[in-house]
Amino acid sequence: MFRLLQHLKFLLTATNQHGVHSPFIFSYITKCVYVKPGYPYSKSVDVLLKSIAYFEPKKVCLIDNRQLEKTVRRHFPKIELSEGGSEVSFFSEYSQELLDTLLSEEKNIQNDCLLLLDDIYSSKEKNRIWNSTKKHRKVSVTVDMFYCGAVFFRQEQAKEHFKIRI
Per-residue confidence band for 101, with pLDDT thresholds at 50, 70 and 90: confident
Which structural domain, as residue segments, surrounds residue 95? 2-163
- How many domains is the chain partitioned into structurally? 1
Helix (H), strand (E) at residue 88: strand 88-91
Q: Who contacts 39 (Cβ-Cβ below 8 Å, separation ≥6)?
A: 45, 46, 49, 50, 75
17-35 per-position pLDDT tens digit:
887 889 999 999 999 999 9
* CATH code at position 67: 3.40.50
The answer to whether the pTM exceeds 0.85 is: yes
Query: Does residue 110 contact residue 153 with C-beta atoms inside 8 Å?
Result: yes
At 19, which amino acid appears?
Answer: G
52-79 per-position pLDDT tens digit:
999 999 999 997 788 999 999 999 999 9
Q: Identify the pLDDT of residue 107.
A: 67
Buried b (16+ CB within 10 A) or exposed e, 69-82: eebbeeebeebeee
- C-alpha torsion 91→92→97→102, nearest 10: 0
